[in-house]
Amino acid sequence: MNQPKGITLIALVITIILLLILAGITIATLTGENGILNKASIAKEESLIKNYQEQLDLIWQGVKIENIDKNKTYEEMLGQAKQEIEKDTNFEGAKVEIIDGIIEVITKEGYIFHILEGKTEYVGKEGEEKGIITTTLIANEAQNKKITFTATAVGASGRRLTYVFYINGEEKQRETTYKTTFTTEEQVTSFGEVITAYVEIEYGEQEPSISNEIIVEDNTIASKEELEKFRDNVNEKHITYENKKVELISDIDLQGSQTKQWIPIGNENDNFRGTFDGNYHTISNLVINVENKNYQGLFGYIEKADIQNVKLNDININTTTGNFVGGIAGTIYEGTISRCGVDGEIKGNEAIGRYNRICSFICKKNNKFN
């Protein structure tokens, strides 16, 4: 008995569909992300990377053994290792550089290796997406009027970075390195100088990472001229230094005489309102010889200010009939004078007595004032 042709056709279609499904499964098994061919390719790549790394280890260890008793510097050994890598046929077509104490090897396939302190590390492959770098900048204020800035790159391990530091809007320093933190050369400053700084980090083809901007003001005094500039800023430029600290960082000799008299810091109209910290330094040879002038001393008139940790030595203040006269300050309104000392002569009428006593007390303990 003959079967209907329609049933035969349906069976054929079903068979074809099943064959296509099986073929799709087979192709996916071979070529998919987790397919056999892809896994084989990954395994081959991993094996190649491992072989490269082992060969670099052997070269470096050979250089070390060869130079055990030769007293070569680390830099000299790096140079020899670079030459050995370039001669090795395994690294034919590779690019070999020494940057910042690191040997970088980029093979012809684009695999990147670093040799640092005797350790070989696989960094990655050229052109691989490695994410965005973020950058921060801080200021480290050193002693003796010098400031440095330190940049930190987050997410930059193993990557070649170019740090470009901008000081006061101009490119000041450019350095290519693998370091994820980098410090600028010292910037020498003077009292009252304001420095703005930021850093760009260039890496690969991506947009540079730009740090925050830092503003640093030098409020440290290291010389007679800088102390005079501080005084003129208060008296003539009407700068109060409110909520700021001005610091003495060295002893100062004012070299005072009848012709080189000290003009006090601050007066009735313009006064200092910050913190003056002498850091236990001494100001010597302050001379004031005026007639019938009020508010005389190192500071003339200070309001809502704090003066601390400074000694006046060999001072000579003579105001004849002047009022409100003292060593550290002629008068102080809603402020403090602490751990200060005065050694010298102060003359005036009787009204100055109580103002002088405020700042004449001195007690030495551990070479500091109390």
pLDDT per position as a tens digit, 234-270? 999 999 999 999 999 999 999 988 788 999 999 888 9
Give residue for tokens 């003359």.
347
Query: Is-contact 35 29, C-beta < 8 A?
Result: yes
pLDDT per position as a tens digit, 2-41? 555 566 777 777 777 777 776 666 655 555 556 555 666 7
Query: Is-contact 361 341, C-beta < 8 A?
Result: yes
The residues spanned by each domain of the chain are 36-125, 134-217, 220-369
Helix, strand, or coil (residue 301): strand
Given the candidates 2.60.40.10, 3.40.50.2000, 3.40.47.10, 2.60.40.1190, the CATH classification of the domain at 134-217 is: 2.60.40.10
Q: For the chain, 370 residues long, give each residue's pLDDT as a single digit of tens.
A: 555 556 677 777 777 777 777 666 665 555 555 655 566 677 888 888 899 999 999 999 999 888 888 888 888 899 999 999 999 999 999 999 988 788 889 999 888 888 887 788 888 887 776 788 999 999 986 567 889 999 999 988 778 899 999 999 999 999 988 888 999 988 889 999 999 999 999 988 889 999 999 999 999 999 999 999 999 999 999 999 999 999 999 999 999 887 889 999 998 889 899 999 999 999 999 999 888 888 889 999 888 899 999 999 999 988 877 778 888 988 888 889 999 988 888 876 544 433 344 343 333 333 344 4
What pLDDT was estimated at residue 266?
A: 93
Give residue for tokens 């101009």.
170
Pairing between β-strand 194-202 and β-strand 209-210 as defined by DSSP bridges: antiparallel
What pLDDT was estimated at residue 368?
A: 43
For residue 21, give Cα distances in angstroms to 27, 37, 297, 306, 330.
Answer: 10, 19, 100, 87, 100
Instruction: Count Cα neighbours of 117 within 13 Å in the Cβ-side half-sphere.
Output: 0
Cα dihedral 24→28→30→35 (10° resolution):
-160
- Report the candidate in 368, 318, 316, 321 with the shortest Cα–Cα distance to residue 341: 368
- Report the candidate in 24, 49, 34, 120 with the shortest Cα–Cα distance to residue 78: 120
β-strand partners of 245: 275
**225/252 Cα distance (integer angstroms):** 10
**149/41 Cα distance (integer angstroms):** 46
**370/361 Cα distance (integer angstroms):** 9
β-strand partners of 144: none
Q: What is the DSSP string of 225-276?
A: HHHHHHHHHHHTS----TT-EEEE-S-EE---BTTBPPPPB--SSS-B-SEE
Helix, strand, or coil (residue 295): coil
In terms of phi and psi (left: phi > 0; alpha: psi -120 to 50; beta: otherwise), the region of 314 is: left
**219/145 Cα distance (integer angstroms):** 10
Q: What is the CA radius of gyration of the chain?
A: 37
